[in-house]
Amino acid sequence: MPIPSFSPKTPTEKVILAFSFSGLGVLLPGETISAKTVSASVFSGTDATPSAILNGSPFVDPLDPARILQGVQNGVDGVVYKLCASITTSLGNVYEIYRLLRIDSM
């Protein structure tokens, strides 16, 4: 199964990416996100410090409590990053979403 991708960004852009767990139907009524992390690794290309693409800590979207938001900055032109958003819920369930992000100076 292919990993879904975000739209590409340039090395100079700073953007907020959304990881939605609501569309997966994984959260039960009343279940909330109690912990969240986002990690970055290189899917293709070369970047010695892929985690440097992450800008700040992830946070729960105030408009959608089943979605987390993560700031992203910089990145190496031509590299495709694999981002993993992981949540732990109030019921102790753990879920992960993977997305690719390509850096393209266009």
pLDDT digits (tens, 9 = 90+) for 27-80: 888 889 999 999 999 999 999 999 999 999 999 999 998 999 999 999 999 999
Q: At 86, list the tokens.
A: 């992981």
Q: What is the pLDDT of residue 61?
A: 95
Spatial CA neighbour of 104 closest among 9, 7, 6: 9
Average pLDDT for 17-21? 94
Q: At 93, list the tokens.
A: 């369930």
Q: At 27, list the tokens.
A: 């959260």
Q: What is the pLDDT of residue 27?
A: 82
Distance CA 73, CA 75 (A): 6
Q: What is the pLDDT of residue 57?
A: 97
Q: Do the beta carbons of residue 45 and residue 58 sit within 8 Å?
A: no
Q: What is the pLDDT of residue 29?
A: 84
SS3 50: helix
